């Protein structure tokens, strides 16, 4: 019994010490009546994201809003014609570019991801300045994304190396047996260190990457520069395919919070990392 108590005490000390190494530096709880535009910009374009996507991203509450303490990004099946660009779907995409960017840290997002053929939600990062060249020479960090026809699986990926089409990527996925990431909220986290990145789902480590390269500069380039956050809900594209008659619309991506931590000294109190469970409160 004494040995068990000693083991639990040591385990709790290790967890507390690890938590104390991260300091909260930026967050959005989405509790306001509208999106905080000092933190986010809403993008508008119908360019297809380089992936043959089918949506037009629009800046309107029908596609991007805060609601009951959540960020809601909504994809709709509707025909639009904007400046001669015609699309059969609309959706939303927001980013922190020119508002906030970080070089290294722990990025934590609690979200509920939609499902359905052709649905493609993503929470990811791009370089604030393309110091090493166009995509993907300056890098891309995918914290979490999923394709809607595989609702039991999420992916974490790095893109790097050189400009398209000579770029490379590295990544893995996390699966929930007989699960469905659209049924409830999960916490998706990335810990980005100078020479290593780690991906978590609900605190469970599922991937570590410490090898990447750049044709433009020595390691650890291109991931030695500030990156900003992007949250979007794409429709269609090379990876998820085209929506069909079974795809539910509107498709809703809900985000409870986004929190960014950076390394600090192990001493001192750990920042609060547990948010209010708004589902349970409702």
Q: How far apart are CA 25 and CA 39, in angstroms?
A: 13
85, 88, 43: which is closest to 64 by C-alpha? 43
Identify whether the C-beta of residue 197 lies closer than 8 Å to the C-beta of residue 209.
Answer: yes
Q: How far apart are CA 77 and CA 55, in angstroms?
A: 9
189, 204, 203: which is closest to 261 by C-alpha? 189
Identify whether the C-beta of residue 131 lies closer than 8 Å to the C-beta of residue 138.
Answer: yes
Name the percent of the chain in helix, strand, coil, to the closest 5. 10, 45, 45
SS3 at position 63: coil
CA angle 106, 120, 76 (to 5 degrees): 120
Identify whether the C-beta of residue 149 lies closer than 8 Å to the C-beta of residue 125.
Answer: no
Q: How far apart are CA 45 and CA 91, in angstroms?
A: 10
SS3 at position 18: helix
Which are the catalytic amino acids?
140, 145
151, 9, 35: which is closest to 99 by C-alpha? 35
Identify whether the C-beta of residue 246 lies closer than 8 Å to the C-beta of residue 117.
Answer: yes
Chain centre to alpha carbon of residue 142:
6
Measured CA to CA in angstroms, residue 47 lies from 44, 52, 58, 87, 94 at distances of 9, 8, 12, 10, 15
């Amino acid at each position: 019994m004494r040995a068990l108590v000693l083991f639990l005490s040591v385990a709790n000390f290790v967890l507390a010490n690890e938590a104390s190494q991260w300091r909260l530096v930026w967050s959005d709880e989405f509790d306001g009546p509208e999106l905080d535009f000092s933190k986010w910009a809403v993008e508008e374009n119908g360019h297809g994201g380089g992936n043959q996507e089918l949506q037009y991203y629009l800046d309107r509450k029908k596609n991007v809003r805060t609601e009951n303490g959540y960020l809601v990004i909504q994809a709709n099946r509707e025909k639009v014609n904007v400046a001669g660009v015609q699309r059969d779907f609309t959706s939303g995409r927001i980013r922190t570019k020119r508002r906030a960017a970080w070089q290294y840290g722990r990025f934590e997002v609690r979200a509920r991801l939609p499902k359905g053929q052709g649905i493609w939600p993503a929470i990811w990062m791009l370089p604030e300045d393309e110091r090493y060249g166009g995509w993907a020479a300056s890098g891309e960090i995918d914290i979490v994304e999923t394709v809607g026809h595989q609702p039991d699986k999420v992916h974490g990926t790095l893109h790097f190396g050189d400009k398209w089409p000579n770029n490379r990527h590295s990544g893995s996925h996390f699966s929930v047996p007989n699960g469905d990431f659209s049924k409830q909220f999960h916490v998706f986290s990335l810990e980005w260190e100078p020479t290593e990145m780690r991906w978590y789902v609900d605190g469970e480590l599922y991937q570590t990457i410490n090898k990447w390269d750049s044709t433009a500069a020595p390691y650890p380039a291109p991931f030695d520069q500030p990156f900003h956050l992007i949250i979007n809900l794409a429709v269609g594209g090379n990876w998820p395919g085209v929506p069909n008659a079974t795809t539910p619309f509107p498709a809703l991506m809900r985000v409870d919070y986004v929190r960014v931590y950076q390394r600090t000294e192990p001493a001192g109190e750990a920042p609060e990392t547990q948010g209010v469970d708004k589902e349970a409160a409702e």
